[in-house]
């Protein structure tokens, strides 16, 4: 997870700076956008990189199907 946040945190701060400070967007809207992006990308990171090789590996469950 350290690798994910090492990339995501600077990018989210940059996005917040650009949208809220430079372009005058509502700060709460920018925070909500960042939270949505974090939710989706963190799910994908965990699904494919952290737990990708261990998903659907239960041999007992596969036999019952």
Q: Per residue in 11-59, pLDDT tens?
A: 999 999 999 999 999 999 999 999 999 999 999 999 999 998 888 777 7
3-state secondary structure of 24: coil
Q: How confident is the model at residue 61, as a pLDDT?
A: 65
- Looking at the domain assignment, is residue 61 inside a domain? no
Counting the structural domains of the chain, the total is: 1
Residue 45 has a CB neighbour count (10 Å cut-off) of: 18
- Looking at the domain assignment, is residue 43 inside a domain? yes
Determine the structural domain holding residue 22 and report its residue range: 6-51
- Looking at the domain assignment, is residue 14 inside a domain? yes
Q: How confident is the model at residue 57, as a pLDDT?
A: 77
User: For residues 18 and 13, what is the distance between their CA atoms, to the nearest angstrom?
Assistant: 9
- Looking at the domain assignment, is residue 58 inside a domain? no
Q: How confident is the model at residue 52, as a pLDDT?
A: 85
> What would the two tokens of residue 57 be?
């590996």
- Looking at the domain assignment, is residue 60 inside a domain? no
- Longest CA pairwise span in the chain (Å): 58
- Looking at the domain assignment, is residue 20 inside a domain? yes
The pTM for the full model equals 0.78
Q: How confident is the model at residue 64, as a pLDDT?
A: 63
């Amino acid at each position: 997870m350290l690798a994910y946040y090492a990339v995501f945190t600077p990018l989210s701060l940059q996005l917040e700076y650009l949208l809220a400070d430079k372009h005058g967007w509502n700060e709460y809207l920018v925070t909500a956008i960042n939270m949505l992006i974090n939710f989706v990308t963190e799910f994908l990171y965990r699904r494919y990189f952290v737990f990708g090789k261990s998903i659907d590996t239960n041999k007992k469950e596969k036999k019952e199907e």
